[in-house]
Structure 1
Amino acid sequence: MSLLNKLEKIVHYFQPPQKTARVAKERLQIIIAHERQRDNPDYLTLMQKELLEVISKYVQINKDDIKIELDRKDGCSILELNIVLPASGVVA
């Protein structure tokens, strides 16, 4: 299953109002762990691009509306994902 397919499933979970943040967080952690094992240093840029493609299917969003940062602290990796969604929830 490609990263794009995994991310499409994550976006699907953003639609229902219950537990979406927790589910998305868990799935992103799995994706990051998988990508880290592949030793691909460019995966954050690729992930940002693919997130933009997937989210754009549901709402209008710009490239600058997605920020991904990966920090390492005390032997742990911390993924911070910020997505600015339109207030009106306009479907693209």
Structure 2
Amino acid sequence: MALFDFLRPKKDTASIAKNRLRILIEQERSDSGGPDYLPVMRRELLEVIRRYVSVDLDAVKVDLLKDGDHDVLDISVSLPEKPGPAGAV
């Protein structure tokens, strides 16, 4: 049936789909360590910071840590050495 060989995919689509699913699951697991609002909070903080300083997507990290009986919100912002224009105030 060489006539219909062009209809068959040449790549192993099952393994490609499996790899993509594995990546999505790993991302979900890394985000699931905290409450649901942490990714939203991170995005909103990034939007506010970008009003004043041009920063990368990975510049803001928000984590929830345990300190005895208390939960501590740890916010880390990596600012550039020389702030660039960000259409600021």
TM range (shorter): 0.5 to 0.7
Alignment of 1:1-92 (within 5 A): 41-92=35-86
- Name the CA distance, whole Å, in 1 between partners of 2:61 and 2:85: 21
Unaligned runs of 5+ in 2: 1-34
Distance 2:49 2:83 in 1: 11
Structure 1 CA distance, aligned partners of 2:74 and 2:41? 12
Larger Rg: 2
Identity of aligned residues (%): 38
Over aligned residues, Cα RMSD in angstroms?
1.1
AA in 2 matched with 1:70: L
Q: How many residues align?
A: 52
Scaled by the length of structure 1, what TM-score is found? 0.52
Unpaired runs of 5+ residues, structure 1, are 1-40
- Residue by residue over 1:15-50, the C-alpha shift from the partner in whole angstroms, topping out at 9 and shown as x without a partner, is xxxxxxxxxxxxxxxxxxxxxxxxxx3111111000
